[in-house]
A = this chain, B = another copy of it.
Amino acid sequence: MATGRTHRPATRSRGIPEATVARLPLYLRALTGLSERSVPTVSSEELAAAAGVNSAKLRKDFSYLGSYGTRGVGYDVEYLVYQISRELGLTQDWPIVMVGIGNLGAALANYGGFASRGFRVAALIDADPAMTGKSVAGMAVQHADDLEKIIDDNGVSIGVIATPAGAAQQVCDRLVAAGVTSILNFAPTVLSVPDGVDVRKVDLSIELQILAFHEQRKAGEGQDDTADEAGTETPAAAAKPARKGPDGDVPAVMQA
C-alpha cells in the first residue's frame, strides 16, 4: 500500500527527535573509547569533539534522555554508556538474519561490528542452492525456502537484505510476512513496505554520486565555465527545452 518510504512517518518518538537518535550511536562509540581508556568523566566539549559534533547539539541531545550530567564537572562515562545503550535497546540481544550471501553479504557476515554491539547473526540465507550448506563466517548458509521457519524459530525482527536489486522486493515481502519489522537494505532499490515497518537503506553508489557532485563543484569554483548554464539563478532558458534527448553536446567538462 504505502510506497517505499525510507523515512519514518510521523513517529513521535516519545520525545526523542529522529536526528538525535541517529547521533546516539556516534556518542556511544566515542564513550566506549573513553571507557576503554578508563576515563572517568568527560565534558560536553570534549565528547562533542570526539564525536565530531557541536557541543551545544550534544547537550541538547542528552537533555532529551534526561539530566545525566553534573554541572561544573561533566558526564560520568560509564553511566552515560549504560544509559545510551539502554535507550538504543542494546542491552538486549537482537538476532538478525542476512539474506543474499554474495560478495557484499559475505563481507557483512564477516564484519565484526555487529557482534560487538548487541547484534547476533542468527542465520545466513541465500536463494542459490549451490550456496546452501557452505560455510561463511563460520556459519552454514541456509536456503531461502526455509526463510519463514528460520525467522520464526529465532524470533528475528531485524533483517538485512544484500541480494541483487531484482530480488530485493520479493525477499522484503517474505521477511515482512514472516514477522520482520525492521530492514536494513543494501540492494539498490526502493522497497515498499506496510506501515509499521522501518526500512533504512545503504547505497554505496549513491554516496559516491553525491561526492561527485561536490567534487565537480569544487573543480569549477575558481573559474567556472563548465556547466555555467544552470549556474546562475536564471530560471528557464537554462538549456534548450528541446524535446529531443541527447542533442546537447554541452559536456565541456574538463577534468584532471
Contacts and interface: CB of A to CB of B under 8 A. Distances in A.
A138 interface: no
Interface string A81-112: 11101111111111010000001101110110
Interface residues of A, number: 117
A1 interface: no
A189 B29 CA distance: 9
A25 interface: yes
Contact of A104 (B107, B232, B234, B240): B107
B117 A208 contact: yes
B212 A88 contact: yes
Contact of A119 (B92, B119, B157, B208): B208
Nearest to A190: B52
A106 B108 contact: no
A233 B12 CA distance: 13
A3 to B, nearest CB: 5
A79 B209 contact: no
A179 B232 CA distance: 25
B78 A216 contact: no
A66 B245 contact: no
A87 B240 contact: no
B94 A215 contact: yes
Given A212-B88, A243-B73, A78 B238 contact: yes
Q: Which 6 A-B pairs have the closest CB atoms?
A: A89-B216, A78-B245, A66-B238, A107-B107, A92-B230, A155-B256
